[in-house]
Amino acid sequence: MDINKLTAQFQQDLAHAQSLANGFNHSVIEALHVLSAMVGDSSSTVSSLLSQCSTDFAKLKSDIETQVNQLASLDNPTGDINISQNLLRLLNQTDKLA
């Protein structure tokens, strides 16, 4: 995956996902972190698309937050955060489709 191929918005979403993971003392960035970042940005394309689909946006955000809170966290975080294998697979798949 070449980060330079990603849109500026998605790069920002990944950075926000990293901040979320760090804030919850998670050791890896999961797809849930990225989804949370995308849904949390009211100006994002994802938010716009979901609002057009008559999605219960508040419930979706709440459900995502609940799932993120349930991810395993570290007692003594080092600040080193990696991308999870699942997220890496997703990113590689999107790279192939782009």
- CA separation for the pair 32, 68 (Å, rounded): 6
Confidence of residue 57 (pLDDT cuts 50, 70, 90): confident
What ranges do the domains of the chain cover? 6-97
Of residues 92 and 43, more confidence is placed in 92
Chain mean pLDDT for the chain: 89
Question: Which pLDDT tens digit goes with each residue over 12-52?
Answer: 999 999 999 999 999 999 999 999 999 988 888 888 888 88
- Give Cα 30 distance to the centre of its chain: 6
Q: pLDDT-derived band of residue 89, with 50, 70 and 90 as boundaries?
A: very high
Structure token pair of residue 43: 């100006």
Judge contact between 23 and 68, C-beta under 8 A: no
Query: What CATH number was assigned to the domain covering residues 6-97?
Result: 1.10.1780.10
Region of 44 please: left (phi>0), alpha (psi -120 to 50) or beta.
beta
